[in-house]
Chain A
Amino acid sequence: MGRYIFGRIGYMLITFLVIATFTFFLMQTLPGSPFNDERLSESQKERLYERYGLDEPAPIQYVKYMTNIFKGDFGVSFQYDGRAVTDIIGERIGASAVLGAQSLLFGCIIGIILGIIAAIKHNTAIDYMAMLIAVIGLSVPNFVFAGLLQYWVGVKLQWLPVAFWEGFEYSILPTIALSVFVIATIARFMRTEMLEVLGQDYIVTAKAKGLNQFAIVMKHGLRNAAIPIITILGPMTVSLLTGTLVIEKIFSVPGLGEQFVKSIMTNDFPVIMGVTLFYSILFIGVVLIVDILYGVIDPRIRLSGGTK
């Protein structure tokens, strides 16, 4: 197992290098410059270029950038005069991560329950209701839900705050708005997988032992049905943890998603690069975790010391 993870980390490093290289040269081809202000004179611009090392040829910039990355230095921002990129990410990621983790947890629990109920009550009104909810969740964009929640729960009923980030109650509405998509996706997957699992021979075996429906679903069904769900959980986690700009914008949450958009608008290369690389590190990491999770849940793909 150790050897396996070690090898995987090696591959992750290569993947990361490729992504870094690719994004770096992609940035070079972007039109425009971070210092396009009309009020700046040519000589002022030149001085700025020199200060941030932008006057040097691309290959040298590349080598410098890559070596700095491995020292943990992602450069400094252009738009916030001289602030380190890592500081900006560090400051913004907190809110995004909390929001993402909450909606993931909430979405998974509700989605799994909904999916199981739909599978057990297969082809009944309950099943159709659950799947109707899922279809609405998938097809209606989350900013519509966000708006509705703000209007009804926030403004009309005055139960919860509609904006800002000053405590748990502030996170409730954006969490719900974000988790609608998670609920819908997980519920649909869970229903399909559970239906398939419930048709397997070992479920009949369990029934023949005299177990009741609840024990069969929880003990024999859930773990087997969860295996494919883990697959979609990986990318979903990344996209939720790193912030979703629309929801963050609507609820005025100071998250990473919002920062990312701002940086693109101002051609703030170091921040764009930094956030992109941060995303990829997260993604690569989550993929590894998902693969390890497979082994935990499904003993058939558990690796035993690299012999089998």
Chain B
Amino acid sequence: MEKILEVNNLQVSFDTYAGEVKAVRGVSFHLNKGETLAIVGESGSGKSVTSKSLMKLIPNPPGRIVNGEILFEGKDLVHYSEKQMQKIRGSEISMIFQDPMTSLNPTMTIGKQIMESIIKHQNVSKTEARRKGIELLEMVGIPQAENRFSSYPHQFSGGMRQRVVIAMAISCNPKILIADEPTTALDVTIQAQILELLKDLQKKMGTSIIFITHDLGVVANIADRVAVMYAGKIVEIGKVDEIFYHPEHPYTWGLLGAMPNLNEDAGELITIPGSPPDLLNPPLGDAFADRNRYAMKIDYQMEPPMFKVSDTHYASTWLLHEKSPKIMLPDVLKKHRQTAPRGKQNEHLAKRKEQREKLLEIKNLKQYFTSGTNLIKAVDGIDFDIYKGETFGLVGESGCGKSTTGRTIIRLYHATDGEILYNNVNIHNKKSSLDTQKLNQKIQMIFQDPYSSLNPRQTVADIIAEGMDIHGLSINRKERLEKVYDLLETVGLNREHANRYPHEFSGGQRQRIGIARALAVDPEFIIADEPISALDVSIQAQVVNLLKRLQKEKGLTYLFIAHDLSMVKYISDRIGVMYKGRIVELAESNELYQNPLHPYTKSLLSAIPLPDPETEKTRKRIKFDEKLIWNDEGEEPVLREVKPEHWVSCTEQEYNDFKNYFDVI
């Protein structure tokens, strides 16, 4: 294999007022011609900084490459001048960024933006560049490329914009394409399309791809080789099968264990305790030692070298040293090798069915918004019940109305039509403020973004106790503080944290504060609106485990709103799938994943990337054509129960077909 890029001992630092932050601490890897190397890691692991350094796109000051070599076709880019780099950027190495909503200039037509680099690097006329631009747009799958050439970015959807960004990046046939979390901001079905497009383009053009991501499912789908980064270093690197089936580094074990498996009803997710080290003062020995349950004395004293596992597989952990004890791969990780579905939860659910009582009933709920003269039907007539003590998952892609549903239930919006019964009482016609206040206490919310949902000017104690103050739940200061300490400990923080401010905490810790705030008023029902989507994988698992534990201890009922289907499947008892303001399918979570009936559910499920290279290689994505079900002619599909507890939006004819299908089985 020919190496196109070789990085040796790359070190990148940022000079801040507090001191030098060593973001990348000696990274070495190579990239072969035509392969895809995935760099995985959590936020702050240095994966993005590494990739930007390859193109010298690190803003300087404050960032600088301290040491190391970046050999591109044998030439060291570290010593290239800005002028020389401009020739490389966009023509030899190009980049795709994370958020297609912000990575295109809003005031310039996409055509001009694509032509820009063609004109810059290929020395062609404007008409020629235009012809090439249209060709590129067709290549990345933008319909009516010629007409859309002079459209502005805001006239495209997120997925289409990312295609435009890709068209821009490949416009000069680059030898290396760096994709920095290119699908993180997209819905799963769009993500699947973009991944297919990248693979397709790679096949056609033979480009080498460096793919940065935190999503192991995506890695299993696209990568030939994988590098796992932690605290500015590569801790394990190898072929995709080696990393997924024979991981050697305990951090890799943790990452893999933190992902719920769709075919398994595991108990608790494996978590990696704690959070990543501060790179202002990186620890002396192995940076992962503090979070490593197998840490040895040497881990705190010396950095482990890269141990060779096979010709292609290296890992940096003292566990591989010949003198260290042999540790068996944790059991939970073995699940990634087996795919046989099981169904043990059903009996346990059936038993509960007899005694369960409805906590929340939603009947024909509608929530419309007007914007100018347009009527937006965010939620368009949905019905479902939530039973006491269960977790009801609501999934769907962005814009399907799932968050609006949550907000309408908690009465942040005034429902356009329909009823919401809480303990058999309609809560949307409540006039008296006393009743309203009581309800506010019983229903609480956890928000998506732990950074913007906490007031930065309030101490943690005040944030948590505010609800108690409003509802008059604490009699005096001492009691109030005691309760805050209690809550902090319940969510896994310390009492010392009470007097600090939100910016002193990491994302995962902030989300814990958000949970403590919701719990402070002893609620019965919690609406969690994408509570983990802003967090890293290992932190996600911590928060999900915490939510599960609290549910058990306090008998809480959850409405769990999310777009991450594997996590929803893991936490929910029953799941409702929303599409364009309506529920198209509703069933127990296992039933839904094993027997999806609605074409939209099928396509959604088929698009989730799983952290298992074997299944990813054979995956067949089911494409969803909305014309199949949303035509205006004929009968309007209605939610019908085709099997006990399994509801699907279908027509009379389809209903009978489903019935027959189940009778045959």
Asked if residues B105 and A209 are in contact (CB atoms below 8 Å), the reply is no
From 189 to 210 in chain A, residues with beta carbon under 8 angstroms from any chain B beta carbon are 200-202, 204-210
Asked if residues B103 and A210 are in contact (CB atoms below 8 Å), the reply is no
Asked if residues A300 and B154 are in contact (CB atoms below 8 Å), the reply is yes
Q: Which of B55, B86, B103, B117 contacts A201 (CB 8 A)?
A: B103
**Residue on A with the closest CB to B120?**
A210
- Complex A-B: 25 CB contacts under 8 Å: A200-B102, A201-B97, A202-B104, A202-B106, A204-B57, A204-B97, A205-B104, A207-B57, A207-B89, A208-B55, A208-B90, A208-B95, A209-B117, A210-B85, A210-B86, A210-B88, A210-B89, A211-B90, A219-B116, A223-B108, A298-B106, A298-B107, A299-B152, A300-B106, A300-B154
Asked if residues A210 and B87 are in contact (CB atoms below 8 Å), the reply is yes
B219 interface residue (CB < 8 Å to A): no
Q: Which of B57, B121, B154 contacts A208 (CB 8 A)?
A: B57
Asked if residues A210 and B108 are in contact (CB atoms below 8 Å), the reply is no
From 363 to 404 in chain B, residues with beta carbon under 8 angstroms from any chain A beta carbon are 373-374
Instruction: Give A223-261 as 1s and 0s: 1 = Cβ < 8 Å from B's Cβ atoms.
Output: 110000000000000000000000000000000000000
Asked if residues A211 and B120 are in contact (CB atoms below 8 Å), the reply is yes
A153 interface residue (CB < 8 Å to B): no
Q: Which residues of B sit under 8 angstroms from A207, Cβ to Cβ? A: 57, 89
Alpha-carbon gap, A201 to B185, bound state (A): 14
Asked if residues B165 and A205 are in contact (CB atoms below 8 Å), the reply is yes
Return the 6 tightest CB-CB contacts between A and B, nearest first. A210-B90, A210-B89, A209-B90, A209-B117, A201-B102, A299-B152
Alpha-carbon gap, A205 to B152, bound state (A): 16
Q: How far is the CB of A126 from chain B (nearest CB, A)?
A: 15
Given A201-B99, A201-B102, A204-B97, 9 further pairs, Cβ under 8 A: A205-B97, A207-B57, A208-B89, A208-B95, A209-B116, A209-B168, A210-B89, A211-B120, A219-B116
Q: How far is the CB of A234 from chain B (nearest CB, A)?
A: 20
Asked if residues B116 and A211 are in contact (CB atoms below 8 Å), the reply is yes
Instruction: Give A1-17 as 1s and 0s: 1 = Cβ < 8 Å from B's Cβ atoms.
Output: 00000000000000000
Asked if residues B117 and A202 are in contact (CB atoms below 8 Å), the reply is no
B91 interface residue (CB < 8 Å to A): yes
Alpha-carbon gap, A219 to B165, bound state (A): 18
B45 interface residue (CB < 8 Å to A): no
B252 interface residue (CB < 8 Å to A): no
Alpha-carbon gap, A224 to B102, bound state (A): 13
From 9 to 33 in chain A, residues with beta carbon under 8 angstroms from any chain B beta carbon are none
A139 interface residue (CB < 8 Å to B): no
Q: How far is the CB of A250 from chain B (nearest CB, A)?
A: 41
Q: Which of B88, B103, B121, B168 contacts A204 (CB 8 A)?
A: B103
A297 interface residue (CB < 8 Å to B): yes
Alpha-carbon gap, A246 to B105, bound state (A): 44
Instruction: Give B117-143 as 1s and 0s: 1 = Cβ < 8 Å from A's Cβ atoms.
Output: 100110000000000000000000000
Alpha-carbon gap, A205 to B167, bound state (A): 12
**Residue on A with the closest CB to B86?**
A210
A212 interface residue (CB < 8 Å to B): yes
Q: Which residues of B sit under 8 angstroms from A220, Cβ to Cβ? A: 105, 108
Q: Which residues of B sit under 8 angstroms from A209, Cβ to Cβ? A: 89-90, 94, 116-117, 120, 168
Alpha-carbon gap, A140 to B648, bound state (A): 73
Residue from the set A220, A224, A299, A306 with the largest chain B CB neighbour count within 10 Å: A299
Alpha-carbon gap, A52 to B91, bound state (A): 79
Q: How far is the CB of B158 from chain A (nearest CB, A)?
A: 14
Alpha-carbon gap, A212 to B89, bound state (A): 10
Q: Which residues of B sit under 8 angstroms from A205, Cβ to Cβ? A: 95, 97, 103-105, 165, 168
Residue from the set B88, B94, B105, B120 with the largest chain A CB neighbour count within 10 Å: B105
Q: How far is the CB of B266 from chain A (nearest CB, A)?
A: 38
Q: How far is the CB of A158 from chain B (nearest CB, A)?
A: 48
Asked if residues B86 and A297 are in contact (CB atoms below 8 Å), the reply is no
Q: Which residues of B sit under 8 angstroms from A212, Cβ to Cβ? A: 83, 86
Q: Which of A202, A297, A300 contacts B103 (CB 8 A)?
A: A202
Asked if residues B107 and A223 are in contact (CB atoms below 8 Å), the reply is yes
**Residue on A with the closest CB to B83?**
A212
Q: Which residues of A sit under 8 angstroms from B121, Cβ to Cβ? A: 210
Asked if residues B107 and A206 are in contact (CB atoms below 8 Å), the reply is no
Q: Which residues of A sit under 8 angstroms from B97, Cβ to Cβ? A: 201, 204-205, 208
Asked if residues B152 and A206 are in contact (CB atoms below 8 Å), the reply is no
Q: Which residues of A sit under 8 angstroms from B94, Cβ to Cβ? A: 208-209
Q: How far is the CB of A305 from chain B (nearest CB, A)?
A: 12
Q: Which residues of A sit under 8 angstroms from B154, Cβ to Cβ? A: 299-300
Asked if residues B95 and A299 are in contact (CB atoms below 8 Å), the reply is no
Q: Which residues of B sit under 8 angstroms from A300, Cβ to Cβ? A: 106, 152, 154
**Residue on A with the closest CB to B114?**
A209
Residue from the set A204, A207, A209, A219 with the largest chain B CB neighbour count within 10 Å: A209
Alpha-carbon gap, A269 to B265, bound state (A): 86
Q: Which residues of A sit under 8 angstroms from B103, Cβ to Cβ? A: 201-202, 204-205
With known contacts A208-B57, A209-B120, A299–B105 Cβ distance under 8 A = no
From 482 to 498 in chain B, residues with beta carbon under 8 angstroms from any chain A beta carbon are none
From 162 to 215 in chain B, residues with beta carbon under 8 angstroms from any chain A beta carbon are 165, 168-169
**Residue on B with the closest CB to A223?**
B107
Q: How far is the CB of A287 from chain B (nearest CB, A)?
A: 20
Residue from the set A205, A219, A297, A308 with the largest chain B CB neighbour count within 10 Å: A205
Q: Which of A202, A206, A298, A308 contacts B102 (CB 8 A)?
A: A202
Q: Which residues of A sit under 8 angstroms from B116, Cβ to Cβ? A: 206, 209, 211, 219
Q: How far is the CB of B105 from chain A (nearest CB, A)?
A: 4
**Residue on A with the closest CB to B93?**
A208
Alpha-carbon gap, A306 to B373, bound state (A): 9
Q: Which residues of A sit under 8 angstroms from B55, Cβ to Cβ? A: 208
Q: Which residues of A sit under 8 angstroms from B120, Cβ to Cβ? A: 209-211
Alpha-carbon gap, A297 to B83, bound state (A): 31
Q: Which residues of A sit under 8 angstroms from B373, Cβ to Cβ? A: 306
Q: Which residues of B sit under 8 angstroms from A219, Cβ to Cβ? A: 108, 116
Alpha-carbon gap, A201 to B181, bound state (A): 14
Q: How far is the CB of A205 from chain B (nearest CB, A)?
A: 5
Q: Which residues of B sit under 8 angstroms from A298, Cβ to Cβ? A: 106-107
Q: Which residues of A sit under 8 angstroms from B169, Cβ to Cβ? A: 208
Instruction: Give A276-308 as 1s and 0s: 1 = Cβ < 8 Å from B's Cβ atoms.
Output: 000000000000000000000111100000101
**Residue on A with the closest CB to B178?**
A208
Q: Which of B87, B91, B105, B374 contacts A206 (CB 8 A)?
A: B105
Q: Which residues of B sit under 8 angstroms from A211, Cβ to Cβ? A: 86, 90, 116-117, 120
Q: Which of B88, B105, B117 contacts A224 (CB 8 A)?
A: B105
Q: How far is the CB of B82 from chain A (nearest CB, A)?
A: 8
Q: Which residues of B sit under 8 angstroms from A200, Cβ to Cβ? A: 102
Residue from the set A204, A210, A298 with the largest chain B CB neighbour count within 10 Å: A210
Q: How far is the CB of B208 from chain A (nearest CB, A)?
A: 16
With known contacts A204-B97, A210-B89, A300-B154, A224–B106 Cβ distance under 8 A = yes
Q: How far is the CB of A54 from chain B (nearest CB, A)?
A: 49
Asked if residues B105 and A202 are in contact (CB atoms below 8 Å), the reply is yes
Q: How far is the CB of A255 from chain B (nearest CB, A)?
A: 37
**Residue on A with the closest CB to B92?**
A210
Q: Which residues of B sit under 8 angstroms from A208, Cβ to Cβ? A: 55, 57, 89-90, 94-95, 97, 169
